[in-house]
Amino acid sequence: MNRTVRLCVNGTPLALNVPVRTTLADCLRHGAGLTGTHLGCEHGVCGACTVIVDGDAVRSCLMLAIQAEGSSVTTVEGLAPADALSPLQAAFRKHHALQCGFCTPGILTTAHAFLTQEPDADRERIREMLSGNLCRCTGYIPIVEAIYEARAAYRRGTKGDKS
Ligand code: FES
Ligand code: FES
């Protein structure tokens, strides 16, 4: 059985007809063509699939698309204006906070939701927030430093997303 799901994704209203058991991750990747949302474990452990739903970081492999009906969703594609890096993304580049990049969309969306709510977080709090996102190749020190540096943009309200 299919249902039409209406969402606002990265500021754009979408109506996507999907089987009722489709996850939000698959709906975004295959229905909306937003393949920046990655799937690793597909059971809520790795954090690679994290997107922002109505302001909260959510594992899109664990949420059905129909549960997001009427919501505002931000994916990694919505974190920055076209052809530019957001302050958070620029800090990741500066601090070499990624290698293969598979985990990076989920870490960026998680950190974006976090810094929007806690722009004064210290390094310990950032490490705690990152505990739900697995990176198999970079090591966490550059990631923590990048997020720590990006805090200033969130305090100024210049975080750069499209939502
Ligand atoms: S793919 Fe969703 S948490 Fe790993
Ligand atoms: S950069 Fe490769 S898994 Fe994190």
Q: Give the pLDDT confidence of 13-36 residue by residue, as tens digits.
A: 999 999 999 999 999 999 999 999
Q: Is 96 in the pocket of ligand 2 (CB under 6 A)?
A: no
Mean pLDDT of 136-155: 96
| Mean pLDDT calculated for residue range 90-119 | 97
Identify the pLDDT of residue 138: 87
> Strand 72-74 vs strand 50-53: parallel, antiparallel, or unpaired?
antiparallel
pLDDT at residue 127 in the model: 98
Q: How confident is the model at residue 113 (pLDDT cuts 50, 70, 90)?
A: very high
Paired strand residues for 12: 9
What's the average model confidence in pLDDT over 82-110?
Answer: 96
Residues pairing with 57 in the sheet: 52
The rounded Å distance from CA 61 to ligand 2 centre is: 19
Query: In the structure encoding, which two tokens stand for residue 94, read together?
Result: 């500066």
Q: Indicate the average pLDDT of the chain.
A: 96
Band of pLDDT at residue 4, cut at 50, 70 and 90: very high
- 156 C-alpha to center of ligand 1: Å? 31
pLDDT over 60 at 73, yes or no? yes
Query: Order of strands across the sheet with 72-74?
Result: 12-19, 2-9, 72-74, 50-53, 56-59
**Does residue 81 carry a pLDDT above 90?**
no
Question: Rounded to 5 degrees, what are φ and ψ at 106?
Answer: -70, -35
pLDDT exceeds cutoff 60 at 69? yes
Question: Do residues 4 and 22 make contact, with C-beta atoms less than 8 angstroms apart?
Answer: no
Which ligand 2 atom sits nearest the alpha carbon of residue 100? Answer: 2
Are residues 76 and 105 in contact, defined by beta-carbon separation less than 8 angstroms?
yes
How close is the Cα of 139 to the center of ligand 1, in Å? 19
Nearest residue (CA) to ligand 1, atom 3: 44
What pLDDT band is residue 162 in, cutting at 50, 70 and 90? low
Q: How confident is the model at residue 163 (pLDDT cuts 50, 70, 90)?
A: low
Q: Give residue 24's pLDDT.
A: 98
d(CA 137, CA 34): 24
pTM of the model: 0.95
What letter does residue 159 receive in the DSSP assignment?
Answer: -
Distance 39 CA to ligand 1 centre (A): 6
Which residues, judged by CB distance below 6 Å to any ligand atom, belong to the binding site of ligand 1?
39-42, 44-49, 59, 61
